[in-house]
Amino acid sequence: MSMSKGLRYLARSPTRKAVTAAGLIAAGYPSGGSEDPETYARKLSAVDRCMTILAGSMAKLPNYIFDSRTRERPDHPLLHVLNVRPNEAMTPSVRKEVLENSRLEGGNGYDWIIRDPRTGRVTELIPVPWYLVEPWKDTAGRIWYTVTHPFTGEPMVLPQEDVCHYKGSTRDGLKGISVLRRAADTLASARAAQEYERAYYESGGQPSGVLRTDTDLGGWAMGSDGKVLTRADGSPVSLKDQLRGEWEKVHAGPKNGHRVAILDLGLDYKPIAASNQEAQFIESKEVSVRDIARYFGIPLYKLGEGKEAYSSNEQNAIEYVVGTLHPNVTQYEEEQTWKLLTDREIAAGLEVRINLMAELRGDRAARGQWYQIMLQNGPFSVNDVRALEDLPDVPGGDERRATLNDVPLSIWAELSRLRAETRAPAE
């Protein structure tokens, strides 16, 4: 198995410190309780939705093996691992969703490759969370991966041949940078606005203010026994402190925010905080959603924002596939081709590919028009179209057709003469 291979390398490789919580904090992630980077960011609905959309898009795309020399799709044992069961615990879609979430959260997604020790064939692919893996280079420039056991905390060093590494934006080509880290300032501002909104409604939606009066409130508060009131530490309570405490006791908190205030001693309440409208609170939330969508490359209509015109949304969907998904898919294809296929298979022209047609199946009208063009011009046969729709072949469906309406000018005269000669005479 790949584990034994990794342990053999561990015996002769340089030691490497395991990934720790202190290391994550030093790298710039928040600490304390459950406020880990993904939990902290995913409390924002726009971030959670962007990550769900991207992970879901990658999860539903199937793999196939492509022969670059013949352009055929041969059957291969690796497809069972990629499309049927990658490991004992996960379906293919769950594995891909875990990988993409790890890549988005920590900038790096990792597949631990398990091979048959006799044949070398891949038997399992196990996604490992980004915070349990540390890539590094030895003095010879060889890449290694220190994987921390999630239960025992023991490190295990694996060679690069045993790990598929999917990166986010990267500066050095070795480690990816999380989109959450790159968007840290935007996310912090959005979270601050969200915390303000929660605090606003928890306090009953009442702004803070001042109590004004012409009465002299100097001196100390007196109890019913005629003695000066004191705090727990023995310090005296002023009349102003007593008045403030009584007001907050009655009117502060979510259950008391709308109680009727009765003011005596000539008191007048004057709010001094800006309202939500004055602070342009709603507008700032919309700006935060747009900024987050830019970082993730998600069209606004997928987040329930922006224009909802069908034509523009259709174009945005195409741009999402081409500009956001396709670069990620290309990286997955290249890494899996190099790590999961043998050198002989790669030399023979085999590649691991991901079918993006699954992302475009939602638009039936556009898909039907494209199929019609490909059938009429000859690139596709009926069975080619049925294969893209996951339908079985039909007899005679392998024949390709082409229209005779468009012909080269060099044979136009001859074709016109032949048509005239074969045309039935008029009665």
| Residue 330, token pair as written in the block | 């290309």
Give the C-alpha distances (Å, rounded to integers) separating 277 from 122, 269, 281, 284.
Answer: 59, 21, 6, 11
Indicate the burial class of 411 (C-beta count within 10 angstroms; 0-12, 13-18, 19 or more).
exposed
pLDDT at 318: 82
For the chain, state the CA radius of gyration.
33
Q: Which residue from 302, 326, 330, 328 is spatially nearest to 314, judged by alpha carbons? A: 302
Q: What is the pTM of this model?
A: 0.70
**Model confidence over 64-110: pLDDT tens digits?**
999 999 888 899 999 999 999 999 999 999 999 999 999 999 999 99
CB count within 10 Å of CB 188 equals 13
Q: Which residues of the chain have pLDDT under 70?
A: 1-39, 200-218, 246-267, 269-283, 307-311, 360-363, 390, 404, 423-427
pLDDT at 404: 67
pLDDT at 270: 67
pLDDT at 47: 93
**Model confidence over 156-195: pLDDT tens digits?**
999 999 999 999 999 999 999 999 999 888 888 888 888 8
| Residue 268, token pair as written in the block | 């007048």
